[in-house]
Amino acid sequence: MISSLGIQLLNLYFKLAGGVALGLVLGWKLPEVAPAYLGKFLFWIGVPVGIVAFLRGADLSGSIWIAPAAAWAAIILGAGLAWAWIEIESKRNPSGLMASKPAQGTFLLAAMVGNTGYLGYPVILALVGDKYFAWALFYDMLGTLFGAYGLGVVLAARFGIGTQNSWQLALVMLQNPALWAFGFGLIVRNVALPMLAEEILQAFAWGSLALALVHIGMRLSRLSSWGSLQPAAISLGIKMLIVPLVLGAGLPFLGITGPPHLAIVLQMAMPPAFATLVLAEAYNLDRDLAVTAVAAGSVGFLLILPVWLWIFGL
């Protein structure tokens, strides 16, 4: 007999793999502009509407503000461990990859911020439920977003050799419609809607999450390089194994247990965000390392997910 958790995991894997696989096929078959158009739809409409919809049923009581604090703890710990490894490796092998400033910058970014939106949202909703979705949302909006386009921009500018204006990328954070939808959703979450309008809003939100998985597959279909696998594996080990294990073990001492605990741990364990690749391209960091980390991390997450459920599980 398969346990209820096993059935739940199989159902999640079917949805994740099905959506991403469909995206891979569409990415190979459709014109190159298709992922860009879908990405713009999700960025400007799909994800913001989904945030407003899921906030309506989310529980905002308790110590929910620990979620963004945990996100920043994960970002800082990941960056610190990554920098320690860079120092050790550059001294051990002065002519190796980690002697390169662009590679160092990419390595740091890959160990810091995860795909807590497009991948994190459907995983949390499937395994933890919409009641605790706000924990994942606060982690992403007040943690990952600012970590990627705030601290991430600073680091990319420090280690990169590009001429991109840092303030322009920083403004991307403030212009992100998901951030505005987050604030709007908090304001209107208790406003009553007709039943039909509520059903349409929820259906649109779930449909947008399905499209987000398709979009991940379409983006992955465009990744052609799997070079720099060894340093990518180390950054993924820091980002997806060490950081969630260390901080996840400490959260119960702050009174965070049960579903909120699992939601935070799973967000910490997400693979590197596509923002890693965006910043690598904008600042002429090591694009091969960024591509390898994003692709390998996305595949590796499916393998490591049952481990987190076993350790911190449902």
Q: Within the chain, which residues score under 50 in pLDDT?
A: 1
Question: What is the rounded distance in angstroms from the CA atom of residue 124 to the CA atom of residue 126?
Answer: 5
Q: Does residue 96 contact residue 86 with C-beta atoms inside 8 Å? A: no
> What pLDDT is attached to residue 1?
43
Q: Does residue 279 contact residue 109 with C-beta atoms inside 8 Å? A: yes
Question: What is the rounded distance in angstroms from the CA atom of residue 296 to the CA atom of residue 291?
Answer: 8
- Nearest 5°: CA angle at 46, between 219 and 11? 70
In this structure, CATH architecture of domain 9-312: Up-down Bundle (1.20)
User: Domain spans of the chain?
Assistant: 9-312
CB half-sphere exposure, 283, CA atoms < 13 A: 31
What's the longest Cα–Cα distance across the chain? 65
> What pLDDT is attached to residue 46?
87
Q: Does residue 282 contact residue 105 with C-beta atoms inside 8 Å? A: no
CA distances for 116 relative to 68, 187, 265, 273, angstroms: 12, 23, 11, 7
Map 19-69 to HEC letters: HHHHHHHHHHHCCCHHHHHHHHHHHHHHHHHHHHHHHCCCCCCCCCCHHHH
What global pTM score does this model have? Answer: 0.88
